[in-house]
Chains A and B, each alone.
Chain A
Amino acid sequence: QKEVEQDPGPLSVPEGAIVSLNCTYSNSAFQYFMWYRQYSRKGPELLMYTYSSGNKEDGRFTAQVDKSSKYISLFIRDSQPSDSATYLCAMSAASGYALNFGKGTSLLVTP
């Protein structure tokens, strides 16, 4: 069983839709949870970071962590064509440790 599972998609939504991206994980030691956004031929860019369980909101983005279910989510409100990218979840057991990534979900927001 992979430590981090993420549906690769692709996911196609119309502009303005609410997008829900998810990851599940198996390692209960994970405490730090991140979402990265990656545009084609670029490196991953940190989007959201959450420590332990709870919600975090930043503009149109909301990250949720449910450690009891080993499930994390990223919601994008009022999606824009510029949000079209691959979204990667990543997590680690301690700050500064190696990140464990999901495969990434490819998102396309159509005008």
Chain B
Amino acid sequence: EAGVTQFPSHSVIEKGQTVTLRCDPISGHDNLYWYRRVMGKEIKFLLHFVKESKQDESGMPNNRFLAERTGGTYSTLKVQPAELEDSGVYFCASSTVDSTDTQYFGPGTRLTVL
């Protein structure tokens, strides 16, 4: 069974540009989470989808971040326009409805904003 995959693995963009990160959860996992780790800080929660619905988006830092999960499969996280403080590693995790306490993480996307 394939794990959580994320694309790209690394992105370098200029301040003011737009970047879109993609996450493909494990097949059959209705729960999808986005987290972010800024250098020197702990991993922090951004938002949680159940299928295509946003269950909790309390961790989204501001309206420059837009997450979607059309069709309840893969998810995208768009940052527009990117700022220097958006640099970090963005992780996606997924879990089943029956085993919500076991979140499986992807390898992350390392975003560098110059």
Is B107's CB under 8 angstroms from A42's CB? yes
Is A4's CB under 8 angstroms from B42's CB? yes
CA distance A45 to B106 in the complex (A): 9
With contacts defined as CB atoms under 8 Å apart, how many contacts are there between chain A and chain B in the complex?
Answer: 58
Cβ distance B44 to chain A, nearest Cβ, rounded Å: 7
Cβ distance A5 to chain B, nearest Cβ, rounded Å: 10
Point out the residue from A41, A43, A98, A104 that lies within 8 Å of B45, measured CB to CB. Answer: A98
Is A46's CB under 8 angstroms from B56's CB? no
Is A96's CB under 8 angstroms from B100's CB? yes
Q: A43-B108, A96-B95 are in contact. Are A32 and B101 (CB under 8 A)?
A: yes
Q: How many chain A residues have a CB neighbour from B under 8 Å?
A: 27
Is A103's CB under 8 angstroms from B41's CB? yes
Interface flag for B74 (CB, 8 Å) = no
Interface flag for B87 (CB, 8 Å) = no
Point out the residue from A41, A92, A101 that lies within 8 Å of B44, measured CB to CB. Answer: A101
Chain A CB within 10 Å, residue with most, of B59, B100, B101, B106: B101
CA distance A34 to B88 in the complex (A): 23
Ranked 3 nearest A-B pairs via Cβ: A96-B100, A43-B105, A98-B45
Which of A's residues lie within 8 Å of B, judged by CB?
Answer: 2, 4, 6, 32, 34, 36, 41-46, 49, 51, 88, 90, 92, 95-104
Which of B's residues lie within 8 Å of A, judged by CB?
Answer: 4, 31, 33, 35, 41-45, 48, 56, 58-59, 91, 93, 95, 100-108
- Contacts A/B (CB < 8 Å), 11 sampled: A4-B42, A34-B101, A42-B107, A43-B4, A43-B106, A43-B107, A45-B105, A88-B43, A92-B101, A96-B101, A100-B45
